[in-house]
């Protein structure tokens, strides 16, 4: 694979979005668009749009699973059909959805076996740590479902010297739980450290979130971007960490300041 070149002086942020959400709204597109609005280039890669409804094991809840690709399409964001097109779209719109088949078709064929096998394979682990840039030319936003894998993920990034933000996933998707932010760990400059600690105080007021449908989540995403709804605080924390790691801001204080200037409303 010929890697993409960085579209700007900033490190692009890369999200692997293959799971979709069943119980709560998929806010990964909102996080990606929030970073883009702050000037950070973003690539989200995942399954092909036409395979999204069958990208999860067959079960009674499969039809309610909402994928990032579906939300991006509903919002009118063009996806790439090749790496060359991804490079063009990234420079034009600052954010691109890259289907796995347009990037690594061999891996897509193995990934698609889940529909027949009903279980995940090693590909699901692999896609969390891959990105289409040179090894240290991007920030990987990597999330895991099971706690023991969090340390393994950090060990991998430290050995490869790749830059990464690691944390517990929300239903397998790499965005912070909008009700309670998890620990956010950075892997950079040869060490892993806790950048932002998880929320420990009792939840005094739950954030109002949309129902888990493509149309409702898309409307909520636009509402946050337009100032109608507040940006959930956990997503603001994750965005601040990524603004720092991408080089957009020099410290967390300036990152938070930029988010307050960019978004008229951020949940307390």
Arithmetic mean of pLDDT, 184-201: 90
User: Domain containing 124 — which CATH number?
Assistant: 3.40.1030.10
In a domain? residue 136: yes
In a domain? residue 5: no
Q: Which domain holds residue 166?
A: 13-262
- The model's pLDDT over 206-251, given as tens digits with 9 standing for 90+, comes to 678 899 999 999 999 999 999 999 999 999 999 999 999 999 999 9
In a domain? residue 3: no
Residue 244 · residue 251 · CB < 8 Å: yes
Q: So what's the pLDDT on residue 109?
A: 87
Q: Please, which residues have CB within 8 angstroms of residue 237's CB and are 6 or more apart in sequence? A: 176, 181, 184, 196
Q: So what's the pLDDT on residue 7?
A: 87
Number of domains in the chain: 1
Alpha-carbon span 199 to 42, nearest angstrom: 26
Residue 97 · residue 36 · CB < 8 Å: no
Is residue 115 scored above 60 in pLDDT? Answer: yes
Strands in 78-213 per DSSP E: 95-99, 139-144, 163-168, 184-188, 191-196
Backbone angles phi, psi at 189, to 5 degrees: 55, 35
In a domain? residue 6: no
105 by Cβ neighbours in 10 Å (0-12 / 13-18 / 19+) ranks as: exposed
In a domain? residue 268: no
In a domain? residue 202: yes
Arithmetic mean of pLDDT, 111-138: 82
In a domain? residue 92: yes
Q: Please, which residues have CB within 8 angstroms of residue 134's CB and are 6 or more apart in sequence? A: 3
Q: So what's the pLDDT on residue 199?
A: 82
Strands 184-188 vs 191-196: parallel, antiparallel or unpaired: antiparallel
This prediction has a pTM of: 0.92
């Amino acid at each position: 694979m010929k890697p993409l070149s960085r579209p700007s002086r900033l490190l692009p942020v890369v999200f692997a979005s293959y799971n979709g959400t069943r119980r709560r709204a998929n806010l990964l597109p909102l996080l990606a668009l929030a970073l883009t609005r702050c000037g950070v280039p973003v690539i989200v890669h995942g399954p092909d749009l036409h395979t999204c409804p069958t990208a999860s094991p067959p079960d009674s809840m499969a039809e309610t699973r909402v994928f990032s690709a579906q939300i991006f399409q509903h919002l009118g964001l063009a996806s790439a059909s090749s790496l060359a097109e991804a490079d063009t779209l990234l420079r034009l719109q600052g954010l691109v959805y890259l289907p796995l088949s347009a990037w690594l078709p061999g891996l897509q064929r193995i990934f698609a076996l889940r529909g027949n096998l009903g279980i995940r394979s090693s590909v699901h682990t692999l896609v969390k740590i891959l990105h289409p840039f040179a090894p240290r030319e991007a920030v990987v936003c990597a999330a895991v479902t099971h706690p023991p894998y969090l340390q393994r993920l950090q060990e991998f990034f430290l050995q490869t010297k790749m830059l990464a933000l690691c944390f517990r996933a929300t239903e397998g998707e790499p965005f912070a739980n909008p009700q309670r932010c998890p620990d956010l760990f950075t892997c950079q400059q040869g060490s892993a450290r806790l950048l932002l600690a998880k929320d420990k105080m009792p939840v005094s007021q739950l954030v109002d979130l949309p129902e888990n449908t493509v149309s409702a989540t898309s409307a909520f995403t636009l509402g946050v971007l337009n100032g109608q709804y507040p940006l959930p605080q956990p997503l603001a924390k994750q965005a601040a960490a990524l603004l720092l790691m991408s080089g957009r801001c020099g410290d967390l204080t300036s990152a938070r300041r930029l988010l307050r200037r960019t978004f008229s409303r951020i949940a307390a």
